[in-house]
Structure 1
Amino acid sequence: MLRKVKEVAELTGVSIRTLHHYDRIGLLSPEHVTEAGYRQYSERDLETLQQILFFRELGFQLKQIGQILQNPDFDRIEALALQREALLEKRSRLDRMIQTLENTIQDAKGEIEMTDKEKFQGFDFTNNPYEEEARQRWGNEAVDRSNKALADMGAQGQKQISEQMEALFRKLAAMRHQDAGSDEVQQSIGEWHAFLNSMGHSYSPEAFRGLGQLYIQDERFTRNMDKFGDGFARFMAEAMGIRADRLQD
């Protein structure tokens, strides 16, 4: 059975504009096009679209998805099994975050008392939802190098990295009311700089300053960082800028 693009859009919830875009970039080109130029999607096309949507839900970028689907070794059944495991893990993480949120509400009402550790259960900093943005800002090589470093660590290593990052953020957040240029703050900011570079990045002073500015220029970063304390993102931007100045002197 062949379906017109409008029918596919209504069936899947994917907009006609998005389907046209997938066709233009060669990600999903329908098997049949009428003489009048109308796209007609087959069952196999719908299977491919389903794969694309699963990958998108898991945070893959369109270019990455295209490379995966075009790989001659691509196995749909294997991919579905892996996607299932990844989505189950994502659901588990969201369940933990929801529980943390519910506990935080009780804590705010004075009904329970949470430890600092419990306040951050469920957050996972090993997965970066802004990877494409990072690629545009700093290039594919730096991001790929970082991703490879994470992959080489394995699950246990990634968990340790996430815990180290949380510990550094908690330590710095506790200093956010101090002078950002003080020796104590700058020593800790130096630890943050070294931590980032250990992840496969190579942050020059200027790139480090730029990352700090991103914390306050992009409300998504600001919102996530300020979960560690009001004004934390702005404090980090200032402290990172000071470190960059001193490294360039």
Structure 2
Amino acid sequence: MREMRDSPVPAGLGGAAASADGLTVGRVADSLGLTVRTLHHWDAVGLACPSLRTRGGYRLYTAPDVERLQRIIVYRELGLGLTGIRALLDDSHAAAPAELRRHRERIRERIARLEQLDTGLERMISAHERGILLTSEQQRAVFGPDWDPAWVEGARMRWGTTAQWAQYAERSAERGPEEWQTIADAMAEFEGALADAFDHGVAPGEPAADRLVDRHREVFSAYFPLSRSMQVCLARMYRADPAFAAHYDGIRPGLADWFRAIVDESARAHGVDPDTAVWE
């Protein structure tokens, strides 16, 4: 009969006794939420071996075997590798607290790193949604009293799905008031140089004008990389958009038109047709 063939050694145990004294691999796997393959692997490496076998060679786990498996599961959920688990189970119990303390310290370090990552992700999400991680008061302190924080929301609504907005947001996530102040100062210096050149009658295509065009791309790259073709589109927007036009013409009447002219001329000199330039 199958019950007698599969009864565990020692001889004399019947089918009912076999069920009471040992559990098959399948039943243990189901009860502990493991796979049969995992139990076979732990058996093969000597980490958790079933103590009994039937005469037919089937593995059977005793109650102490299952208890050892439960401890292995706990240690594995704590992040220990099989070597470390074996040491805890088989070495002197006196070494277990020290090993567990070491592992606890490693877990605390991981938690600290994850908390830093969580903070960074939170800032990244906010930057994508808000553009600038400054309060309205901080924005006006950095960009001037005429600054309208609603402009950032307008930019997000207009360009929030573009690759450039993503680049802008990723850089914004790492910036505080001091970093933004540095950027604002650099842009103010550039606009001052732009006004001086305009006052001195610098013409489009002259070396001084071309240097200003290059300087504009360099300063603007604090937000995201700007190609010559994109710069043409941006200069066109400075002239066409009422808010931008008012800003540049507020520095010098006619400055928006002149800036577009020097950008267009520089683009032509570098093989970019302003009439067909596109946002890349």
* TM-score of the aligned structures, taking structure 2 as reference length: 0.43
Q: Highest CA radius of gyration, 1 or 2?
A: 2
